[in-house]
Structure 1
Amino acid sequence: MSDDNKIIRMANQIATFFHSQPADERPGGVATHINKFWEPRMRRQLFDLVDNHGGEGLDGLVLEAVPLIHRPVPQMDAPIGLA
């Protein structure tokens, strides 16, 4: 299974749980879970799917939550050394 497929599957599983919650709590619940438990690399992959592929395969609730998810700081090409 590709990394994209894993991210899609995991995000959609979170959304499946939150579909059982009150409607006004759903997007915030998905975003809070992802912000708390996903490392920056995983959130980068999620934003790559949304930004470059339109979120194809993601549950609509995940897409509603995207504006509430913390976008990780872009990775730098090389670490900065201390002088």
Structure 2
Amino acid sequence: MNPERLVDMLNDIAANLGVEPDREEALAAIVAHLRRFWEPGMRRQLLAYVDGGGAGLETLALEAAQRLRQASVT
């Protein structure tokens, strides 16, 4: 998938789920969404993109991607 499309999708997800007042719950919800709905290849591509700097990812989206990596979910 086009990396720009992944960035747009994750930023949209973060914008929608980031309205949760508790930041930790918002991050957990974003990571859960990625685990539940994104194919492993999309998650791997996202993490590779983050390794390359993650340009264009909003702060909450980038933090969620980093948590996804920490959870070793690909």
1:4-83 to 2 correspondence within 5 Å?
4-22=3-21, 23-52=23-52, 54-69=53-68, 70-72=72-74
Q: What is the TM-score normalised by the length of structure 2?
A: 0.82
Distance 1:71 1:30 in 2: 13
Structure 1 residue runs without a partner (length 5+)? 73-83
Residue 31 of structure 1 deviates from its aligned partner by 0.4
Residue 8 of structure 1 deviates from its aligned partner by 0.4
Higher helix share: 2
Aligned pairs, how many?
A: 70
What's the RMSD between the two structures over aligned residues? 1.5
Bigger Rg, which one? 1
Structure 2 residue runs without a partner (length 5+)? none
Q: Which segment drifts farther, 38-47 or 23-32?
A: 23-32
Q: Which segment drifts farther, 62-71 or 41-50?
A: 62-71
Identity between Structure 1 and Structure 2 (%): 37
Q: What is the TM-score normalised by the length of structure 1?
A: 0.75
